[in-house]
Amino acid sequence: MTVFVLFGATGDLARRMVLPAFYTLAIEGLLPEKWILVGNGRGDVSHENFRERVREALEEFGPAPGKGPWREFAKRLRFAGGGFNTDSPGSLLDVIADARAELGTDAQLVHYLAVPPVAFPELTKALGAHGLAAGSRVVYEKPFGTSAEGFRKLNRQVHGVLDESQVYRIDHFLGKEATQQLHAMRFANTALAALWNREHVESVQIDVPETLGVENRAEFYDATGATLDMLVTHLFQVAAEVAMEPPAALTADSLQAAREKVIAKFRPIDPAEAVLGQYAGYKDIKGINPKSRTDTYVAAKLWIDGPRWKGVPFLLRTGKKMAAGEQRVSLVLRTPAGPFRKLPPQSNVLSFSLAGSGEVDLSLLAKRPGIADELEPAKVALPLTAVPDADPLPPYSRLIHDVLEGDRALFTRPDGLAAAWKAVRPLLDSPPRPVTYATGSWGPAKARKLAAPHRWLLGQ
């Protein structure tokens, strides 16, 4: 039995991500047998009007409400208006009381904060002030803080109300099926486990270019930028998934400990080994400061101080309005010393596409059939949907399911976040001036030097 309270229920994040994810779980039969979703917001919205808004969100972002158990799903939707803060709970307490009367007084409370980070402290305090914190689970969207100091302050405020075991800091890249395949491919296959170190890996590229701009969230983005929005969150977390030592077990505690331990070994990024960019026309967008120096692109070289990865550069890159949209992790293997001569560099690559349901690719050199010893590039691809009985969940659905189950394995811990802020701090304190780059390009040409003596695998 679960009462799922969605703060910011009529906002963009709830419409695009949370509500579609929740409905996906309903279609798949993965929700608790008894549940009620209570949307919360400042407006005075009736239960019926909220159901219609949820329907519209699903029609726009899917899965379409014409599919699956829409009628039964809609019956379980409620709305509590009047806002929610320490001074006033609005109608939320009454709606939750009605839901618990219907489901059972011991129904599990799950609070999902689909609101801007600036709203986290007050909502957290209000949960405690109005008796909704004890025994509950609370999901915080990223970014959890917007600076090292902001993170520490927010963490103290959260722990003043909640025990760490109640806190679920979400990073949807950790919920991606292909991100989890990094564990399976590495830890379940001897051949891959053997090459997962500096002896065999020349470099690692984590590349997340995007074709979208920021028009739909201009004011938020201009106060954030690519470094805060993507580098210190998604890209650092994926780097940790690649670089971690084998955990003792695939349990929440062991996985989190392994992830946070390697993040603590991230060397602070040298601003001289980073390139910031801003796409042409960004300052012309409504809501953007005409003098903005916000980065819409960041590329950085990350070093991990430990015996497994000593001397192996992790090349991280993301940007808006780029030539293509990809989410790819690539382990570039070292070129063999012989007996073949003049082998082309970066020919042996183990690559994971994190987009969609994911794909594992192996690029290698093969002999061209014939009498001559001539080599040609070849590629082996394994779409994860081709695995027998594959039934992948979208990342938000997977993570919300884990919250409902009380599984914190794919959520971040404060020690890891503290180390991540420490690693990015030099770049935040002394950022290079953003270089203007053309929309539809691969970003500033200056970033090519970061991959020297070779190149970025995507573009350029």
Neighbour-count burial of 403, counting CB atoms closer than 10 A to its CB (0-12 exposed, 13-18 middle, 19+ buried): buried
pLDDT recorded at residue 179: 86
**pLDDT tens digits, residue range 310-343?**
999 999 999 999 999 999 999 999 998 878 778 8
Q: Which residues are annotated as a binding site for substrate?
A: 172, 176, 210, 229, 320
- Label the pairing between strands 2-7 and 35-40: parallel
At 377, give phi and psi (nearest 5°): -65, 140
The torsion region of residue 184 among left (phi > 0), alpha (psi -120 to 50) and beta comes to: alpha
Q: Is 98 exposed, middle or buried (0-12, 13-18, 19+ CB in 10 A)?
A: middle
Q: How confident is the model at residue 109 (pLDDT cuts 50, 70, 90)?
A: very high
Which of 227, 287, 249, 299 is CA-nearest to residue 447? Answer: 299
Beta carbons within 8 Å of 354's beta carbon, 6+ residues apart: 173, 176, 178, 179, 208, 238, 327, 328, 329
**Cβ distance 428 to 227 under 8 Å?**
yes
78 DSSP assignment = E
Q: Is the pLDDT of residue 107 over 70?
A: yes
| Domain residue spans of the chain | 2-141, 173-451
Query: At what angle are helices 236-243 and 177-187 packed, to 10 degrees?
Result: 20
| Separation between Cα atoms, residue 70 and residue 294, nearest integer Å | 42
- Banded pLDDT at 390 (limits 50, 70, 90): low
Cα 406 to the center of its chain, rounded Å:
19
pLDDT (0 to 100) of residue 366 = 87
The Cα–Cα gap between 335 and 328 comes to 21
| Residue closest to 332 by CA, chosen among 202, 151, 199, 177 | 202
Instruction: Note the pTM of the prediction, 2 decimals.
Output: 0.91
Question: Are 327 and 355 within 8 A, CB to CB?
Answer: yes
- Give dist(CA 408, CA 138) in Å, integer: 11
**Bond preceding residue 434 cis, omega within 30 of 0:** no
What mean pLDDT do residues 142-155 have?
89
Q: Is it true that the peptide bond before 344 is cis, omega within 30 degrees of 0?
A: no
Per annotation, catalytic residue among 159, 183, 200, 234: 234
CATH superfamily of this structure's domain 173-451: Dihydrodipicolinate Reductase; domain 2 (3.30.360.10)
Q: What are the two backbone dihedrals, phi and then psi, of residue 424, each rounded to the nearest 5 degrees?
A: -95, -10
Task: Give the three-state DSSP class for 362.
Answer: strand
The count of residues in the chain is 460
Question: Binding site, residues?
Answer: 8-15, 42, 142, 172, 176, 210, 229, 320
CATH class of 2-141: alpha beta
pLDDT band with cut points at 50, 70 and 90 for residue 152: very high
Mean pLDDT across 282-301: 96
d(CA 69, CA 55): 12
Helix (H, G, I), strand (E, B) or coil at 336: coil
| Token duo for residue 58 | 């699903």
Q: What is the model's pLDDT at position 296?
A: 98
Supply 399's token pair: 């993570």
Q: Which residues have C-beta within 8 Å of that of residue 149, sequence separation ≥ 6?
A: none
* Cβ(206)–Cβ(326) below 8 Å: no
The answer to whether residue 234 is catalytic is yes
Q: What is the pLDDT of residue 57?
A: 96
C-beta of residue 195 within 8 angstroms of C-beta of residue 333: yes
Copy the structure tokens of residue 352: 């994971």
Decide if pLDDT at 79 tops 90: yes
